[in-house]
Structure formats: C-alpha cells, structure tokens
Amino acid sequence: MFVLVEMTDTVRIPPWQFERKLNESIAEELNKKLANKVVYNVGLCICLYDITKLEDSYIFPGDGASHTKVHFRYVVFHPFLDEILVGEIKSCSQDGVHVSIGFFDDIVIPPESLQQPAKFDEAEQVWVWEYETEEGAHDLYMDIGEEIRFRVVDETFVDTSPTGPSSAEASTSNATEEVQKKEAPYTLVVTMCIIPIVSQSQWLILFLK
C-alpha cells in the first residue's frame, strides 16, 4: 500500500527561522509542502521518512532566506496493481460504487466489475447484487458503511496544475457558467474480490468481510 519515494527539492528557510536546527526547519517545510497532497505520477504523500543528504545552503542577493537542496525519502500511498485492500462503501451512483479508506476517497468500482447480475436501485440509490441459489434469488445490497475487499485494477493521474493565460482567455467566454468541474488528481479503479467458489457460505465470507 505504501512506498518510499526518493525525491530532491530546494527548501527555502526564511531568516527568522535561522535559530532553529536546520534539519527541523527542513522537515517542517517538506511536510508543509507535500503532506496530504498528490504528486503527479507518484501518489498521495503521507509524511517524511528521512533526509538522506543536505547540500550546502546558499543565500541569494535580494532574498535574505537560505536555500538548501535536500535529498529525502517520503512515505507515499501508491498501491501496486492487483493489490488487495479493505475499505468502506462511501456512496453509490450510476458510475459505480465509491469506496473510501479514510485517508483516500477516490476509489471507484465501475458497474462492469460488480458481481453480475447487478442493478442500480434508483429509489435507495444503492447497487444491488442479485444472487441466485437453488433456494431462490437473494438481494445483496451494497450499503453505505459496509466493509468491502477490493483489488486494484487501474490508476489515473490527472495534472491539476493551473492552466496558462491562453486557455484562460477561452474560458472567460464561459464566465457565466458555473465553476469548472474539479477533477480528482489521483483515482483508483478497482474491482470487487471474487473468485469462483463452490459453497454459498464462502461467497458470503468474501462479500461481508
């Protein structure tokens, strides 16, 4: 689920923080910059693991602050392909079931990946799995708050950095329209964990756990 990513960056320490230990200031600045943020093509950054190398600090003309190039390692949430994770159902919509793991919410199970046959109940806004046995059909509701086990199938990174002036001109013509849709910078497409098994009780164990 978590990986260690080696990164480099130049950290700016303002003069009024010079009395603090350099390592502490740098750790604080790095966490301020990266914690709880998604880095494009890397993942969701959690916290600083360690600082591997500190290069010399420089003070540039016109700016009293020191600039230090830092090599460090950061703990990043980036599940690998086919990894099994456990989460909670957050909501259901036409595009699928939305799952959350507390610190990360953009996980979606597309309708094709749900156990078939599945249908979307408009009245209750939940997906229902119509499970057939010899005794008859059972309806298993994917209720909010239910714990669910899923396998990571795909991930999408979207660059949400602000666009330049040329595209801003094009968008001013739509100024009366509402705010542009916010896109999630990092989305996981997952599938529910199913494998063909014989007994019904085993199905239920997989589904309910």
Partner 1 sequence: MSCSRKDANAALLSNFEVFQLLTDLKQQRKESGKSKQSSGQQNLNTIMYETLKYISKTPCRYQSPETVREFLIAMKGHKLTKAEKLQLLNHRPVTAVEIQLMVEESEERLTEEQIESLLQTVASILPGDPEEQQRDSAMETEGRGSQ
Cα end-to-end distance, the chain, whole Å: 19
The interface region with partner 1, picked from 32-40, 111-119, 127-135, 163-171 by CB under 8 A, is 32-40
Comparing CB distances to partner 1, the nearer of 39 and 126 is 39
The single residue among 56, 61, 62, 82 that binds partner 1, judged by CB under 8 A, is 82
Kindly state whether residue 4 participates in binding partner 1, applying the rule CB under 8 A. yes
Query: Which helix (H) or strand (E) covers residue 31, if one does?
Result: helix 22-34
**Shortest approach of partner 1 to residue 135 CB, angstroms?**
22
Nearer of residues 78 and 190 to partner 1, judged by Cβ = 78
Strands (E), the chain: 2-13, 38-39, 43-59, 66-77, 84-93, 96-100, 107-109, 118-121, 126-133, 136-141, 147-157, 186-192
φ, ψ of residue 200 to 5 degrees: the values are -65, -35
Between CA 155 and CA 161, with CA 159 as vertex, the angle to 5 degrees is 150
Q: Which of 168, 197, 204, 208 binds partner 1 (CB under 8 A)?
A: 197
Q: Whole-number minimum distance, CB 115 to partner 1, in Å? A: 15
Does residue 185 contact residue 105 with C-beta atoms inside 8 Å?
no
Binder to partner 1 among 61, 102, 136, 145 (CB under 8 A)?
102
Q: Does 39 bind partner 1 (CB under 8 A)?
A: yes
- Residue numbers at the binding site for partner 1 (CB under 8 A): 1-10, 28, 31-37, 39, 41-42, 45-47, 49, 71, 73, 75, 77-78, 80, 82-84, 86, 101-103, 149, 151, 193, 195, 197, 202, 205-206
